[in-house]
């Protein structure tokens, strides 16, 4: 039987139609979640770089490879939009976040937001962030009770939870800059976590008690919090992101309205949090799996002072290559969706208006056209002279590309390196020989077991 096709281009066009997978859409999604790498290579072998499937109630085109990513993200004829694509997944909870705006409006907001991420402002965040990180990491409990400063701390430590709490603490200090009572901090944390979770709810309706319903309720808690504090934030300048967004101005003197500040704060909290936690968890895992890399990274950290200067972050080259390789093997944002808002094409395939097109960057990162032995953890591939990521500007793209490229990439890398520096100096960690972290790819990629490690204070 012939493969079904998405839509025929108009007569006389030299574009090819997109083949559609004839498999059941639900089964396709399940297969993709089970093993996204195997799924991608099998479908690519069967259909080529561009194919469609019916999934999650919509028709979705997957466009593999660096060339397709470049074409979609550079978006020369403005055929692809973010808002209708991302809104489908996270719209009600992250409404009017900068990633959910398009074209001129996006440009306008991004220019103002850029002021919150200049090198000077980043140094200010770093000064605030490092003492919080050093203090929290130093208080972590060791798995070994004999060497622990906290009593009764034997057993494994679930690193994903530990790192998640740490990045939440950093976010509360560096993003909010509001003195919270423990009860308020708890309420906000809970609201934040429920808002993030709602985006991946299977039942996408506000059924009381369900994820979607909790997400909407929690979004309201976050909104109320930010509206309550905004007047005070506008009245004085403090070094936190909330204050910076209240005062940021583009070169024409444009500023954010109160509604803009609230929407952007809620979105940025989400964009910063899970992404950094996932990267840190992957790095922790890889350094437990490959203790030589842990030792090599530690040696560099031990040569530097406990409390780093901002410029010394650049000297943590081993941590940097481990981070880059972890982001390659498991990018926290595994795919980027776009909606075709007019008839267009990808790699010579006709894409009709209203089609969701997805860039599968997680499997793109395993392309052996650019990366030698792509399934092998090999941080040296990022070091000179190899620098395999340079084979194509979209070969390695954990932070996306084009006009929506991650605005927080320097912030994120700064936070991750600072946390790793303190972890490496304070602790050693390990996993049993032969341990492989079991992954859940149903939303953002996280370990099913939260990564239990033996964590020993040095």
Where do contacts with ligand HEM occur on this chain (CB under 6 A)? 98-99, 110, 268, 271-272, 275-276, 279, 331-333, 336, 398-400, 404, 406-408, 411-412
Q: Which tokens is 160 given?
A: 């994903």
Report the distance separating Cα 266 and Cα 95, nearest Å.
9
Report the distance separating Cα 301 and Cα 313, nearest Å.
10
Q: How far is the CB of 197 from ligand HEM (least distance, A)?
A: 18
Q: Tell me whether residue 22 or residue 259 sits nearer to ligand HEM (CB atom).
A: 259
Q: 285 by DSSP, 3-state: which?
A: helix
Q: Tell me whether residue 47 or residue 125 sits nearer to ligand HEM (CB atom).
A: 125
Strands (E), 301-425: 336-340, 344-346, 349-351, 356-359
Q: Tell me whether residue 336 or residue 345 sits nearer to ligand HEM (CB atom).
A: 336
Q: Tell me whether residue 20 or residue 339 sits nearer to ligand HEM (CB atom).
A: 339
Q: 368 by DSSP, 3-state: which?
A: coil
Q: Tell me whether residue 408 or residue 452 sits nearer to ligand HEM (CB atom).
A: 408
Q: Tell me whether residue 44 or residue 417 sits nearer to ligand HEM (CB atom).
A: 417
Q: Are 83 and 101 in contact (CB under 8 A)?
A: yes
Q: How far is the CB of 418 from ligand HEM (least distance, A)?
A: 12
Cα-based distances in Å from 346 to 15, 100, 405: 9, 22, 20
Q: How far is the CB of 201 from ligand HEM (least distance, A)?
A: 20
Q: Tell me whether residue 144 or residue 250 sits nearer to ligand HEM (CB atom).
A: 250
- Report the number of secondary-structure helices (H) and strands (E) in the chain: 15, 12
Which ranges constitute the DSSP H helices of 253-408?
258-289, 291-303, 317-329, 361-364
Q: How far is the CB of 96 from ligand HEM (least distance, A)?
A: 12
Give me the residue label for tokens 């444009």: 254
Q: How far is the CB of 448 from ligand HEM (least distance, A)?
A: 21
Preceding omega of 385 cis (within 30 degrees of 0): yes
Report the distance separating Cα 316 and Cα 104, nearest Å.
38
* Nearest by Cα to 326 from 366, 294, 282: 282
Q: Tell me whether residue 159 or residue 272 sits nearer to ligand HEM (CB atom).
A: 272
Longest dimension (CA), the chain: 77
Q: How far is the CB of 387 from ligand HEM (least distance, A)?
A: 19
Q: How far is the CB of 303 from ligand HEM (least distance, A)?
A: 25
Q: Which residues pair with 249 in a beta bridge?
A: none
Q: How far is the CB of 93 from ligand HEM (least distance, A)?
A: 15
């Amino acid at each position: 039987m012939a493969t079904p096709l998405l839509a025929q281009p108009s007569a006389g066009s030299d574009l090819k139609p997109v083949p559609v997978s004839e498999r059941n859409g639900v089964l396709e999604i399940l297969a993709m979640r089970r093993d996204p790498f195997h799924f991608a290579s099998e479908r690519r072998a069967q259909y080529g770089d561009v194919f469609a499937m019916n999934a999650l109630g919509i028709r979705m085109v997957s466009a593999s490879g660096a060339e397709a990513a470049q074409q979609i993200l550079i978006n020369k004829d403005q055929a692809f939009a973010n808002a209708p694509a991302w809104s489908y997944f996270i719209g009600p909870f992250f409404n009017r976040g900068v990633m959910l705006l398009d074209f001129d409006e996006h440009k306008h907001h991004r220019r103002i937001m850029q002021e919150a991420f200049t090198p000077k402002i980043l140094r200010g965040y770093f000064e605030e962030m490092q003492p919080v990180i050093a203090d929290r990491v130093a208080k972590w409990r060791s798995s070994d009770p004999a060497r622990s400063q906290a009593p009764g701390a034997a057993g494994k430590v679930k690193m994903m939870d530990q790192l998640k709490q740490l990045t939440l603490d950093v976010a509360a200090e560096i993003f909010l800059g509001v003195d919270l009572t423990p009860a308020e901090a708890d309420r906000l944390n809970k609201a934040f976590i429920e808002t993030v979770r709602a985006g991946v709810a299977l039942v996408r309706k506000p059924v009381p008690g369900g994820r979607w319903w909790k997400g909407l309720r929690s979004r309201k808690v976050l909104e109320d919090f930010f509206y309550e504090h905004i007047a005070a934030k506008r009245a004085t300048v403090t070094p936190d992101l909330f204050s910076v967004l209240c005062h940021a101005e583009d070169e024409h003197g444009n500023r954010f309205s109160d509604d803009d500040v609230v929407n952007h704060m809620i979105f940025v909290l989400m964009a910063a949090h899970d992404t950094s936690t996932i990267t840190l968890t992957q790095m922790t895992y890889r350094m437990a799996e490959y203790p030589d890399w842990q030792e090599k990274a530690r040696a560099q950290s031990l040569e530097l002072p406990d409390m780093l200067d901002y410029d010394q972050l650049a000297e943590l080259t081993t941590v940097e290559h481990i981070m880059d390789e972890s982001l390659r093997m498991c990018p926290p944002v595994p795919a980027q969706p776009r909606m075709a808002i007019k008839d267009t094409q990808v790699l010579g395939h006709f894409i009709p208006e209203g089609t969701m097109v997805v860039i599968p960057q997680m499997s793109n990162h395993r392309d052996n056209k650019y990366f030698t032995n792509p399934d092998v953890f090999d941080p040296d591939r990022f070091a000179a002279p190899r620098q395999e990521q340079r084979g194509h500007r979209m070969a390695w793209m954990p932070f996306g590309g084009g006009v929506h490229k991650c605005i927080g990439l320097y912030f994120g890398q700064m936070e991750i390196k600072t946390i790793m520096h303190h972890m490496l100096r304070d602790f050693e960690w390990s996993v049993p020989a032969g341990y492989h972290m079991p992954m859940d790819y149903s939303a953002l990629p996280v370990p099913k077991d939260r990564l239990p490690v033996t964590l020993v204070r040095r």
